[in-house]
Amino acid sequence: MKRIMLAAGGVLLVCGLAQGAGLRDLAQKRGFLIGGAMRLYPETLADPQYLPTFAREFNVVVPEHVMKFRDTQPKENVYDFRKADFLVKFAEDHGMKVRGHTLVWHEAVPDWVEAYKGSSETLREILKDHITTEVGYFKGRILAWDVVNEAVAKDGSLAPDAGPWPRIDQGRALGGYIADAFRWAHAADPKALLFYNDWGAEQLGAKSDGVYALLKRLRAQGVPVDGVGFQAHIDYDEPVSEDSLRANFKRFSDLGLIIHITEMDFGIPDKLRSDPKALAKQADVYRLFLKVCLETPRCQAFLTWGLTDKYSWIDEGGEDTAPLLLDKDYRPKPAYAAVKALLRRP
């Protein structure tokens, strides 16, 4: 089979660190990972503050796009790892860990897979090849992979419409493709931690019951799943209960799983974007999540879905805005101060 693989060969120079201690120094001292999603678009790369602020604030980074199936295998047998190479090298050059995101996700399926009309057996081979190639390519350099993303529906059932992938299960119980994905990833990089990642499963409820049941079953079957990622995209009016978070984190820990908060953000309705009360509420919610994480021994990482309010997916069409720790001018918000204070606490 002919295969084209594009990889970055050149030397990448990134300017020096901005001054001042960031969150990472405090996290480092307590053996904790603090991080965010990096967007590799022309405007972020042209922004002189963007990359240095990552290196100053975070000791773990996750790509917002460039490791997704659509980006890494845009055509059948054509792999493009150039942007992902850039990110991994940046992380290594700055002593940061990498979370790999994500191998199986119905919203990042390339057109050629979406349009695929072949048998479920050959579709299975396509997924196996993708996981084996991507995880193998970065072997030894990725702390944790989000192997499967968002495969559970809101009611806790396994989503039969999770893109083309459930079709692989024809003739088997739904969910076989999930177990396979973890096995293939493990074979390609036995030392990487393998995660199931989802939204809306942070607290007790139908969805988290479904994720819990799935992971319990996979663990009982000896499937190599090491962790659960709680995305923590929290809506402004969503009730968040400390007890519920804590109890939920505990039951997943008790399965022997590691927990990462993988994509936290908290958008503010546009008209309240500079309202001190709204910013204080945002700080409270960040504080609550990080506090429960720090108090749960198996919760080992806390990442936000972005770095600065200047660049966020929340602004891609929604009514909310300003969801992150730094404002559009890279100034720390109350939420940043809340995170910093907690990391400083013994």
- Which of 227/334 has CB closer to ligand XIL? 227
Applying the rule CB under 6 A, the residues between 178 and 197 that interact with ligand XIL are none
If binding is defined by CB under 6 A, does position 313 make contact with ligand XIL?
A: yes
User: Minimal distance in Å, beta carbon 99 to ligand XIL?
Assistant: 11
Question: Under 8 Å CB-to-CB from 90, ≥6 apart: which residues?
Answer: 12, 14, 38, 51, 54, 55, 61, 96
Please confirm, yes or no, whether 238 is among the known catalytic residues: no
Question: Under 8 Å CB-to-CB from 148, ≥6 apart: which residues?
Answer: 102, 103, 104, 105, 178, 181, 182, 196, 197
Answer positive or negative: Cα dihedral of 283, 289, 290, 294: positive
Applying the rule CB under 6 A, the residues between 233 and 292 that interact with ligand XIL are 263
x-or-dash pattern for ligand XIL, window 49-88, by CB under 6 A? ---------------x------------------------
If binding is defined by CB under 6 A, does position 304 make contact with ligand XIL?
A: no
Amino acid at 55: A
User: Minimal distance in Å, beta carbon 104 to ligand XIL?
Assistant: 11
7: phi > 0 → left, psi -120 to 50 → alpha, else beta; which?
beta
Please confirm, yes or no, whether 150 is among the known catalytic residues: yes
User: Minimal distance in Å, beta carbon 164 to ligand XIL?
Assistant: 18
**In 67-185, at which residue ranges do the beta strands (DSSP E only) sit?**
78-80, 97-104, 144-149
Q: What is the DSSP track for 145-169?
A: EEEEES-B-TTSSBPTTSTTGGGGG
Residue of 249, 233, 242, 241 lying closest to 300 (CA atoms): 249
Of 263, 295, 316, 319, the active-site residue reads: 263
User: Minimal distance in Å, beta carbon 149 to ligand XIL?
Assistant: 5
If binding is defined by CB under 6 A, does position 231 make contact with ligand XIL?
A: yes
- Contacts with ligand XIL by CB under 6 A: the residue count is 5
**In 161-217, at which residue ranges do the beta strands (DSSP E only) sit?**
193-198
Residue 102 class from Cβ within 10 Å (0-12 exposed, 13-18 middle, 19+ buried)?
buried
Applying the rule CB under 6 A, the residues between 98 and 137 that interact with ligand XIL are none
> 234 in helix, strand or coil?
strand
Whose CB is nearest to ligand XIL?
A: 313
Of 64, 134, 150, 202, the active-site residue reads: 150
- Which of 149/203 has CB closer to ligand XIL? 149
- Which of 69/252 has CB closer to ligand XIL? 69
The pair of three-digit structure tokens given for residue 312, joined into one six-digit string: 């966020």
What residues are paired with 320 via a beta bridge? Answer: 269
User: Minimal distance in Å, beta carbon 58 to ligand XIL?
Assistant: 17
User: Minimal distance in Å, beta carbon 117 to ligand XIL?
Assistant: 26
Q: Which residues bind ligand XIL (CB under 6 A)?
A: 64, 149, 231, 263, 313
Supply the residues annotated as catalytic.
150, 263
